[in-house]
Amino acid sequence: MALDAGQTTARTLRVGLFGIGLAAYWPQFDGLQAQLQGYVAEVEAKLARPGVEVINLGLVDGVDAGVEAGHRFREADVDIIFLHVTTYALSSTVLPAVRRARVPVIILNLQPVAAIDYAAFNALGDRTRMTGAWLANCGACPVPEIANVFARSGIAVHQVTGVLTGDATAGAEIEDWIEAARVAHVMEHCRMGVMGHYYNGMLDIYSDLTAQSAAFGTVFEHVEMDELAAIRAALPDAAVARARARIEAEFDIQPDCDPAELDRAARTAAALFELVDSRGLGAMAYFFHSVPGHAHEDIIASVILGCSMLTGDGVPVAGEYEIKNAQAMKIMDAFGAGGSFTEYYAIDYADDVVLMGHDGPGHTGLAQGRTKVRPLEVYHGKVGRGVSVEMSVRHGPVTLLSVVERAGRVSLLVAEGDSVPGPILEIGNTNSRYRFAVGARAFTEAWNAAGPAHHCAVGVGHLAGRIEKLARILNLEVTRVC
């Protein structure tokens, strides 16, 4: 399955770029305009990468040019704009360029060198040449003016401050903004399937789909269990055989697994693959209780392997109809960190770690070693019996993310920690040990105080900085625990 599955349309992230200057300077200072245009070209090279189209309007140097830039950015349908402040320029040049586009703007306050060579500068001997050289280095000058006008105009102020070349900190900040914009673009074009119904009485997981669509742009597709059943019943044997071969290749199947259960899981997996492809889904949330002996019980008791495979393929699947957590999993996956379904299991106070995991699907790409398949005689709190997955998230840095709803307002909750080795509960579920810099007790209290649902998504790597930028792009509140 393609990693860009579930895009409602095949669109490229479009990044707008313009530099600013003052037209009055060009006849006064020879070579200044060309020098500043060169700076903008350097920024374009920093922004260019596969999957990104840079719309570079060059040097915008007056009000009329700013108005025209606003129209061009809007016509180009840019997702984000980078404004490179090359020298002093009027805020009246900037405002019309960004106001019409109505997308997030990142102010790049990047001077060409870390420090002016004062001796060489003062040795120029020509006051006009000296002023031109100064203007080529005074990009910081109009940033307060621009920030003031943005704040008064209701435009969020985002900025990167540093040096144009050789500045690893500034480079990382730009990379984070690009990645955050790319993930926002993925979420805005994601179609999420919702199949079944909520787990009865689990009030914290109920979601406002309108609020979710407003926050992320997600398109929700209500999918019937009957549709999955019809696909499953009509599957050719070859499709089931391919799914069974994948299961054998991708999982560590334990010797006590019944081959008939693996065949049942393979048939359901093949049906899920076809459903996701036919509906163009980029994520899914599901739960179904059914009744003993019903055909739908046979399906819902055999979805775990297929849903785990989909999650590993970039189509995260959340059980218990946890739509908010499917969103969190999709965000983590779009950042390239995976995104596995998890919740508290227990706290190990002796080792100061939090045990977290979940029954049902796991992200096979995040496993420490191969994901095991184990038979379960009962799915606790659910119907049926069958096979399930057991894994730990691979050891190293991790990030937890929760999409939180409070009275229709969507926000993000994030924490960084580490997946650490140690004993786990071998119960056929995902299960990991997480250590946090603030300690298990403080982490647990702070996380709970933010009011999330009891599920969250875990991904590999430390991504809180990028998630905070994503929240700023989406105009969402974000709480960082650690």
Q: Does 300 map to a domain?
A: yes
Residues near 22 by Cβ (< 8 Å), separated by ≥ 6? 61, 62, 87, 88, 89, 90, 93
Same domain, 76 and 204: no
**CA–CA distance, 202 with 453 (Å, rounded to integer):** 9
Mean pLDDT of the chain: 92
Integer Cα distance of 358 and 287 in angstroms: 14
Looking at 167, 186, 205, which one is the last position of a domain? Answer: 186
CB 32 within 8 A of CB 134: no
Q: Are residues 205 and 239 in the same domain?
A: yes
Q: Per this entry, what is the length of the chain?
A: 482
Contact partners, residue 413, CB within 8 Å, separation at least 6: 401, 402, 403, 404, 447, 450, 452, 456, 478, 479, 481
On whether the CB atoms of residues 99 and 155 are closer than 8 A, the answer is yes
Q: Based on the domain organization, do 204 and 352 belong to the same domain?
A: yes
Calpha distance 170→139 (Å, rounded): 15
Under the banding of pLDDT at 50, 70 and 90, the label for residue 291 is confident
pLDDT(3) > 50 = no
In a domain, 5, yes or no: no
**Is residue 458 included in any domain, yes or no?**
yes
Is residue 191 assigned to a domain?
Answer: no
Single-letter code of the amino acid located at 454: H
CATH value at residue 365: 3.20.14
304-342 pLDDT per residue, tens:
999 999 999 999 999 889 999 999 999 999 999 999 999
Whether residues 146 and 217 share a domain: the answer is no
Share of the chain above pLDDT 90, in %: 79
The predicted model scores a pTM of: 0.94
210 with 177, same domain: the answer is no
Would 106 be classed as within a structural domain? yes
| CATH code of 51's domain | 3.40.50.10940
Q: What is the pLDDT of residue 377?
A: 60
- At 383, is the pLDDT very low, low, confident or very high (cuts 50, 70, 90)? low
Within a domain: residue 4? Answer: no
Whether 230 and 117 share a structural domain: no
- Say if CB 466 and CB 180 are below 8 A apart: yes
397 and 281, same structural domain?
Answer: yes
- Does 212 lie in the same domain as 121? no
Residue 382 above 80 pLDDT?
Answer: no
Is residue 3 assigned to a domain?
A: no
Q: What is the number of domains present in the chain?
A: 2
Q: Is residue 50's pLDDT more than 90?
A: yes
Write out pLDDT tens, residues 158-191.
Answer: 999 999 999 999 999 999 999 999 999 999 999 9
Which of 165, 186, 207 is the last residue in one of the domains? Answer: 186
| 436: containing domain | 196-480
pLDDT range class, residue 5, cuts 50, 70, 90: very low
Please tell me the predicted confidence (pLDDT) of residue 380.
56
User: Are residues 147 and 216 located together in one domain of the fold?
Assistant: no
Boundary of a domain, candidates 156, 186, 216: 186
- Give the per-residue pLDDT at 425: 81
Q: Is 167 found in the same domain as 49? A: yes
Q: What DSSP element (H or E) covers 144?
A: helix 143-152
Distance (Å, rounded) from C-alpha 211 to C-alpha 192?
A: 14
* CA angle (246 as vertex; 245, 252 as ends), nearest 5: 100
Examine the domain organization and report whether 21 and 139 are in the same domain.
Answer: yes
In a domain, 414, yes or no: yes
In 258-408 the beta strands, taken as DSSP E runs, fall at 283-287, 317-318, 340-348, 353-358, 371-376, 386-390, 396-406
Asked if residue 113 and residue 87 are part of one domain, the reply reads: yes
pLDDT of residue 161: 97
